[in-house]
Chain A
Amino acid sequence: MLEIKNLHVKLEEEDKVILKGVNLTVEAGKVHAIMGPNGSGKSTLSYVLSGRAGYEVTDGSATLEGAELLEMEPEERAAAGLFLAFQYPVEIPGVGNMTFLRTALNAQRKARGEDELSAGDFLKLVREKAKALKIDADMMKRPVNVGFSGGEKKRNEILQMAMLEPRMCILDETDSGLDVDAMKLVSEGVNALRDAGRGFLVITHYQRLLDHIKPDVVHIMADGRIVKTGGPELALEVEQNGYAGILAEVA
């Protein structure tokens, strides 16, 4: 599904190298988790994959089902099936949440040569998905993420994911800021999307999320590289002992 090879990335504006040879493959139907200390490059990886400006890829490649992601515009990557749930969802004053979702959904359908969804069908779909995430009608009417609480923003990300049905989902610390109940809702939302044709890359600091969204593979990222890969037990080890042991072992 997603294949990242030897990815090197530096900041465009300064000579700061952030990713120093990331290798990672997420197979269809699998959930991979990435853990790692603050500042190790996890969000940078997610931004580079989704096409945010400001980074320069100096080496390596990233493909989504064989197609080279790094050469596409952000909207082309989305249409190809990539989705990033942002660590810090963006507020857009003046653009209604509903308008935003409909525009996004129809743009992707159009890019894939499908018909736009009728207003009625769209409404029905949104209501159903929003209800499952306990997002009320009032939140849908407000401008995108404006005045949303931290947890509401994260649930809104998952709503977008549920509406857009991407094939490759990257979740960047979607659990941070969520209360216990919201964590369950969000996890259910993610689990509902799990299927044989879809891959997940879940960035998190905590085992708790992984109790709900059971990963198949866990990676540890440190200083711009994947330094260790293992099964779910690796997350438990981090939870208990922190990163010191693992980092010492690979150093």
Chain B
Amino acid sequence: MALPQAKTDALEARIAGLSLPAAGWSVPARKEALARLSGMGMPAKRDEYWRYTDPSSLTAVSPKAAAPLEAADEAPAFDGIDRLTLVFVDGVFDAAASDDPALAGVEISRLAEAGPDIHWARDLYGVLEARGQSPVQRPLSALNTAFASDGILIRATAKAAKPVSLVYVHKSDTSDAILHHCIKVDAGAELTVLESGPAAARFNKVMEVDVAEGGRFHHIRTQGRDHDRRAVTHIFARLAAESLFKSFTLTANGRLTRNEAVLELLGDDAVAHVAGAAVGDGDFLHDDTVFITHQGERCESRQVFKKVLKNGAVGVFQGKILVKPGAQKTDGYQISQSLLLDDDSQFLAKPELEIYADDVQCSHGSTSGAIDETALFYLRSRGVPMREAQALLVLAFLAEAIREIEDEALADDIRSRMEGWLNRHKGA
């Protein structure tokens, strides 16, 4: 079927100012991505996959201006955590602000610098993204593969001595960043990647994660509180037998956020959990779009998404579990819930199950509701002020998602950050 002219035109306009690097091992992969992209064009509001979220600000030639937020009222994310920090400012690597990328059990290099000896990344860069283009097209991720300016390539060969922390600083009102990370966790190795910060006025990020047999990967991110920033992010993960993947995202503010996760459980007995807590007030749209494919037997997947919305904030959840023929004893669970603090806010959910194996256990649930007035009164009758009582109930609502973070210190960091926001923002 011919591509609508509007999609092609939008693509041409979007990439007019972008260029592929002249040389380097990633060039073939980038050219393939560009070819894929030409077959897809830019996404538009009329696409089924974008029916709840208007992608026009993500596909526009230039980003809408977004002022950085001076978050003087809170400590930087993961402040107290012993970690190796790599800093990007408006998408540009800041070597002076970053730690020396030497860490026991891990090899780290930059996409923009990686020499031809980085063979493992060559086998990964754009590969998982390409796999993720079917059955649903994700053009913004192909755009990313083609034109990413930089990114981090991390290979864990053993248990990493500490988490690798990617810090995204946003300084310029008009920055437009495209970063692409590749992460490979070798058999039996373990790695935690932290991400924090708004990154840019507009941010397009792809992270490809390949977890080999028995490998363990943890991902915890906070997306920064800049009110007007926009972001589209994709995580593509491929899981071998008995491996584990756990991702948690905390989002507060941001004009538009689309977080996609495309996870493939290929080997037997693999575990994939993806969770998110989002708190939006006012002009805020947060979209979690997840596609989990079960191919191995006895795999477990969890999707736990919670959103707290007020003053017209919009929450979107599109989550799909696909159980392929032969993926027996699949255990899949999906829950998406929103707490609407007023009548102006909205939650749009599209949970889907598609199952081609007979011995599976899959469940999904989606709810949206108001704060429990009876519980609120009970708390107040004990002397807890309205705002504090609301914050307690909001935290309780988000707790199931935060519990998906295995590491206690990291979970505490997220929880106290959330508590701080809720108390300062007076009830979300």
Contact = CB atoms under 8 A, between A and B. Distances in A.
Contact of B375 (A53, A78, A79, A90): A90
Contacts of A7: none
Given A84-B381, A164-B383, A95 B393 contact: yes
**Interface band, chain A:** 20 to 34
Interface string B41-54: 00000000000000
A111 B378 CA distance: 18
Contacts of A143: 396
B392 A52 contact: no
Contact of A75 (B372, B386, B396): B386
B392 A104 contact: no
Given A95-B393, A103-B388, A164 B381 contact: no
Interface in B203-241: none
B386 A95 contact: no
B383 A94 contact: no
Interface residues of B, number: 23
B374 interface: yes
B382 A78 contact: yes
Residue of B378, B382, B388, B392 ringed by the most chain A CB atoms within 10 A: B382
B395 A75 contact: no
Contacts of B399: 94
Nearest to B382: A104
A116 B358 CA distance: 58
Interface in A99-128: 99-100, 103-105, 107-108, 111
Interface string A45-57: 0000011110000
A243 interface: no
Residue of A83, A95, A108 ringed by the most chain B CB atoms within 10 A: A95
Given A86-B378, A92-B375, A104 B396 contact: no
Contact of B380 (A78, A105, A164): A78
B385 interface: yes
Contacts of B382: 78, 100, 104, 107-108, 160, 164
Contacts of B392: 95, 99-100, 103
B373 interface: yes
A104 B384 contact: yes
Contacts of A92: 372, 375, 378-379, 393, 396
Interface in B364-411: 372-375, 377-386, 388-389, 392-393, 395-397, 399-400
Contacts of A73: 380, 385-386
A245 interface: no
A104 B385 CA distance: 9
Nearest to B392: A95
A90 B383 contact: no
Given A74-B377, A86-B378, A92-B375, A79 B396 contact: no
Nearest to B374: A90
A220 B373 CA distance: 31
A99 B393 CA distance: 12
A51 B383 contact: no
Given A53-B373, A103-B388, A95 B383 contact: no
A51 B389 CA distance: 15
A94 B396 CA distance: 4
B383 A78 contact: yes
B381 A51 contact: yes
Which 9 interchain pairs have the tightest Cβ spacing? Answer: A94-B396, A78-B383, A104-B382, A108-B383, A74-B380, A90-B378, A75-B380, A94-B399, A92-B375
Given A95-B393, A100-B379, 13 more contacts: A51-B377, A52-B381, A75-B389, A79-B383, A83-B381, A92-B372, A92-B375, A94-B396, A99-B392, A100-B382, A103-B388, A104-B382, A108-B382
